[in-house]
Structure 1
Amino acid sequence: MSRLDSMLRRLAAQRDGLNWAARDISDLPGEVLDLGLGNGRTYDHLREILPDRRIRVIDRILQCHPSCTPPAEDFLQGEAEPMLNLLLEEGVRFALAHYDFGSGIKEQDVAEAARLSPLIARLMVPGGLIVSGQPLVGLPRIAGPDTIAPDRYLFYRA
């Protein structure tokens, strides 16, 4: 499969997974957490499908498209672990989290996801969903929508 086809498949899985998760959490309290802003496409999509939810974003640097810039009070700039700990201290809880951190070096990305998994789990409301491009540990993995190949995108229930 070409890299272009792989990217298209990943983006379609991401969109389908987020749309499915947004429907699933409709009765749950809590905010939304986007881990990895990048250029802001996913954040923009989350704003569209969850217009009544506060969306917090964590990333090392703010370098998104200007139309996708989160409000300053919702953007936590820095390394993920201290930012997640700050949210824990504030008592914030999430109904949905999207995990999209990655350097492109699989071993490093998997290790970072494993290290951050317990913090993410502690931030979730019971029954909340985590949609992830990386495997997480210590959370029950569930099947996502039928339109997504089982290992293309991963889904976890808090």
Structure 2
Amino acid sequence: MSRLDSMLRRLTAQRDGLNWAVDQITDTSGDILDMGLGNGRTYDHLREILPDRRIWVMDRVLQCHPSSTPPAEDFLQGEAVPMLKKLAAGGPKIALAHYDFGRGIKQDDVAEAAMLSPLIAQVMLPGGLLISGQPLVGFQQITGPETIAPDRYLFYRA
């Protein structure tokens, strides 16, 4: 599979997974967490499909498209460990988290996701939903939408 086809497959799975997740959390209160702002495409989609939810966004640097810049009070800038600890200080509040950290080196990205998983668990509401391109540990893996290949995107309950 070409890198272009792989990217298209990933982005489609990401969009379909987020859209599916909205239906899963309609009866749940709580905030949203987007880990890995990047260009801001996912954040932009989240605020469109969840306009009444607070969306926390986390990344090392703010370098997104100007139209996808989160409000300063919802942007946690810095390394993931201190930012997750900062968010956790107020207690669990996240109903839906999207994990999109990574540098594109699979072994390193998997190790980072495993290391961050306990900190992510601290911000999740019981029963909260996680969507991730990397395997997370300590959560119950669930089946996502049928349109997404099981190895393409992963779905978990806190």
Q: Aligned AA for 1:34?
A: D
Q: Aligned AA for 1:55?
A: I
Q: Percent identity?
A: 77
Which whole-Å CA distance do the structure 2 matches of 1:46 and 1:92 have between them? 20
Q: Secondary structure at the match of 2:89?
A: helix
2:21 corresponds in structure 1 to 21
1:134 corresponds in structure 2 to 134
1:124 corresponds in structure 2 to 124
Q: Structure 2: where are the runs of 5+ without partners?
A: none
Give, in angstroms, the shift of residue 145 of structure 1.
0.1
Give the 4+ runs in structure 1 shifted more than 3 A: none
Q: Secondary structure at the match of 1:97?
A: strand
1:53 corresponds in structure 2 to 53
Give, in angstroms, the shift of residue 85 of structure 1.
0.3
Which whole-Å CA distance do the structure 2 matches of 1:91 and 1:127 have between them? 15
1:10 corresponds in structure 2 to 10
Which digits, 9 at most, give the CA deviation of each residue in 1:9-59, with x for residues without a partner?
000000000000111001111100000000000000000000000000010
Root mean square deviation of aligned Cα: 0.7
TM-score after normalising by structure 1: 0.98
Which whole-Å CA distance do the structure 2 matches of 1:120 and 1:139 have between them? 10
The 5 A counterparts of 1:1-158 are: 1-158=1-158
